[in-house]
Amino acid sequence: MSNFKIVQSFWSKPFLEAAKKNKNLWLNKEMFFISNALSVLKLKEFYSNVELVTDHYGKRILIDILKLPYDSVDLSLNDIDNYRHELWAVGKIKAYSIQNEPFLHIDNDVFLWKAFEESFLTNPLFCQNFENNVEYYSKITEEIKENAFKIPKEMTPYIENKANLNGYEGINAGIIGGNDLDFFKKYCQLAFNIIDKNYNKLDNLSSINPFNVFFEQALFHSLSIHDNVHVEKLFPPTDKSFIELVRIENIPSSFYIHPVAVWKKSIHINEYIYITLKESYPEYFERIQTLLKEKYHEVF
């Protein structure tokens, strides 16, 4: 079992805002908790140092009630409550910013069936994959330009080249991390600068959602090129349907499952995750049922 630092994060503000409006990324609220549980439980099969970065609400639900087996908990996301709930990636940026040792952050909708190769984890930087031909990068970049957002000089070539550098628009941060902590400190500071210096212009955007991709994934790509830091990818660029990331029929040879976007609404995917947790980790499955039956009004 590897002791490489693994990080997951949960900022409750976007989650609770969506819950108020009865909006679910997954098929329902139950599947949100099931996916969180299965994600960390699979990680714990291979890693002995898994940290949760969250806020008071996240700790109460995921740790105190569900007792998910994180090795440590950091409550730094209490510090970002002043940010708008639409800026969901702020929680991830904050989680990256507090790391003081080589780390890998993995989203709570990613499920592993084997550990990452040790050689992969020795790279200065790494990510899930590079992205190209994803329309929202160019659209949000054009809106940022039209609204005269204040953008760091490190992103000038990206803006001038219409959201493309070296043939790619950004990286996918389903996993993100590395050994170059100086890069991450600079990257996170620049991300917060982009947000803070343009905060009063956010309502000028047609949608705030793609702005998250800009300050997380496009910035990471731009800065790595500007500073000449190598980024190792786990996979080649994926098809726009993301089908390569959800081939559950090929598990365990497909060792990495990441149901992005519309795949979270797939009945087939939801059933697989539901049954896997119920059969492999019945104790945690039952805790989720108890949470939703007996503590629903406490949670929501």
SS (H, E, C) 142-194: HHHHHCCCCCCHHHHHHHHCCCCECCECEEEEEEEEECCHHHHHHHHHHHHHH
| Residue 124 counted as domain residue | no
Evaluate if residue 297 carries a pLDDT over 70: no
In a domain, 122, yes or no: no
Alpha carbon distances (Å) from 187 to 130, 192, 215: 17, 9, 9
Answer whether residue 263 is part of any domain: yes
Residue 282 pLDDT > 70, yes or no? yes
Looking at the structure, tell me whether residues 109 and 141 fall in a common domain: no
Whether 257 is in a domain gets the answer: yes
141 belongs to a structural domain: yes
Same domain, 111 and 1: yes
Q: Is residue 167 domain-shared with residue 105, that is, in the same domain?
A: no
Q: Across residues 218-243, what is the average pLDDT? A: 91
The one-letter amino acid code at 30 reads E
203, 234, 265 - which closes a domain: 234
Q: Are residues 104 and 195 in the same domain?
A: no
Same domain, 42 and 134: no
Residues 83 and 225 in one domain: no
- Indicate whether 6 and 106 sit together in one domain: yes
pLDDT at residue 173 above 80?
Answer: yes
Residue 124 binned pLDDT confidence (cut-offs 50, 70, 90): very high
Given 202, 234, 266, the domain boundary residue is 234
**207 and 166 part of one domain:** yes
Residue 170 has pLDDT above 70, yes or no: yes
Count CA within 13 A, CB hemisphere, residue 258: 19
Give the pLDDT of residue 296: 65
Record the pTM. 0.95
- What domain range is 83 assigned to? 1-115+248-300
Beta strands in 222-268 (DSSP E): 231-233, 256-257
Looking at the predicted structure, is the pLDDT value of residue 78 above 80?
yes
Tell me which of 234, 261, 292 is where a domain ends.
234
pLDDT at 134 over 90: no
Mean pLDDT lowest among 196-205, 268-277, 290-299:
290-299
